[in-house]
Amino acid sequence: MRHFYFKKDTLYVLDQRFLPHKEIWVKCKNYRDVADIIKKMVVRGAPLIGVVAGYGVYLGAKEGKFYQAYKELKNTRPTAKNLFFALERMRKVYEEKKDVLSVLKEAKKIEEEDRILCNKIGEFGEKLIKKNFKVLTHCNAGSLATAGIGTALGVIRKAKKKIKMVWVDETRPYLQGSRLTAWELEKEKIPYKIICDNMAGFLMRKGEVDCVIVGADRIARNGDTANKIGTYSLSVLAKYHKIPFYVAAPYSTFDLKLKDGSEIPIEERSEKEVKEIQGKKITPIKAKVFNPAFDVTPHNLITAIITEKGIIRNPDKSKICKFYKKMAK
């Protein structure tokens, strides 16, 4: 499923705000366009943000504005580590080579690597899924969030034959679950049902959930993990019901500079995302809203982190640091 591509110095992306009903493509001809599509969530998903930012920086370099592009892209969204990871890689290459073509090559490399990483995460994660498993996922950590088959959905795709049901949290306010994950699973013919986010506990209590798998936006060095708002509540519910809780993420998600999750910046987004759904106002006009886009799941609630180099069980500082060295190779 191709949802973005870079051709003749133009980045084309499928506008995820209009899925699943309209497939509208957006063209980005310069770094400002790329910054804009990240801010407005035309594209989203931590790994994908990193990939498109790479092309954005290249477009900036091409017009002689590498640092402006770097800076503007850096300020688009604060939480996903993959964005800063990609930008730092681009900067390093630019400063070493001072050559626009090398910068483009690096952007393509980031994309290609992400594709391969997803496959590997899927292969490792697949081993955790047993026959007839009912899996619950939150948000969209699928193709649409990456350059490949996805992280959490990568695992689900690789384990397809063993999966009896995917419970898809609709994931308010942006509805990544009911709009995007459902769309991907529909195309893959993997059995799924959409639920409202507040129904997960009910299903767990009924014994209808064998494991939870989610993606990640940033992982601190002790394993605390920022992911889409609602992930933390799910991790507490999973713990209470003794259900394994898995995070699937590539090494570009880890931020070893951060001691723990309290240091991860949490983006707050516009009230409008909660007050309106597809332009329909649902709350009183003057209503006040709180709209954090992410939350942090502490490492002790995570059964394992699934990476492209293997699985980190009961993640903590020493395990993460050891693994990260292995991953970064």
Q: Catalytic positions, please? A: 217
Neighbours of 3 (CB within 10 A): 22
Contacting residue, 193, 269, 317, 319, with its own copies by CB under 8 A: 193
State in angstroms the smallest separation of the CB of 166 from its own copies: 10
State in angstroms the smallest separation of the CB of 252 from its own copies: 25
Q: Is the Cβ of residue 55 or residue 232 nearer to its own copies in the bound state?
A: 232
Terminal C-alpha separation, the chain: 29
Should residue 179 be labelled a site residue for its own copies when binding is judged by CB under 8 A?
yes
Q: What distances in angstroms separate CA 259 from CA 81, 177, 219, 221, 316, one per listed residue?
A: 14, 30, 10, 6, 11
Residue 103 and residue 57 in contact, taking contact as beta carbons nearer than 8 Å: yes
What tokens appear for 252 in the block? 């570009």
Should residue 197 be labelled a site residue for its own copies when binding is judged by CB under 8 A?
yes
How many residues touch its own copies under the rule CB under 8 A: the total is: 55
Q: Which of residues 218-277 bind its own copies (CB under 8 A)?
A: 229-230, 232-233, 236-237, 239-240, 274-275, 277
Q: Tell me whether strands 192-195 and 211-214 are parallel, antiparallel or unpaired.
A: unpaired
Sole window of 46-54, 89-97, 148-156, 200-208 interacting with its own copies (rule: CB under 8 A): 200-208
Give the integer Cα–Cα distance in Å for 193 and 94: 46
Per-residue 3-state assignment (H helix, E strand, C coil) for 4-41: EEEECCEEEEECCCCCCCCCCEEEECCHHHHHHHHHCC
**CA 319 from chain center: how many Å?**
22
Should residue 169 be labelled a site residue for its own copies when binding is judged by CB under 8 A?
yes
Q: Which of residues 201-220 bind its own copies (CB under 8 A)?
A: 201-203, 205
Binding mask 289-328 for its own copies (x = CB under 8 A): xxxx--x---------------------------------
Give the integer Cα–Cα distance in Å for 147 and 3: 9
State in angstroms the smallest separation of the CB of 196 from its own copies: 4
State in angstroms the smallest separation of the CB of 152 from its own copies: 16
Q: Is the Cβ of residue 31 or residue 174 nearer to its own copies in the bound state?
A: 174
Long-range contacts of 85-91 (CB under 8 A, 24+ apart): 85/50, 85/252, 85/253, 86/50, 86/51, 86/53, 86/54, 86/57, 86/110, 86/252, 87/53, 87/57, 89/54, 90/53, 90/54, 90/57, 90/58, 91/57
State in angstroms the smallest separation of the CB of 273 from its own copies: 9
Q: Is the Cβ of residue 30 or residue 178 nearer to its own copies in the bound state?
A: 178
Give the integer Cα–Cα distance in Å for 259 and 240: 26
Give the integer Cα–Cα distance in Å for 179 and 61: 35
State in angstroms the smallest separation of the CB of 279 from its own copies: 8
Should residue 188 be labelled a site residue for its own copies when binding is judged by CB under 8 A?
no
Contacting residue, 51, 194, 214, 248, with its own copies by CB under 8 A: 194
- What are the residues binding its own copies (CB under 8 A)? 20-21, 138, 167, 169-173, 175, 178-179, 182-183, 186, 191-203, 205, 229-230, 232-233, 236-237, 239-240, 274-275, 277-284, 286-292, 295
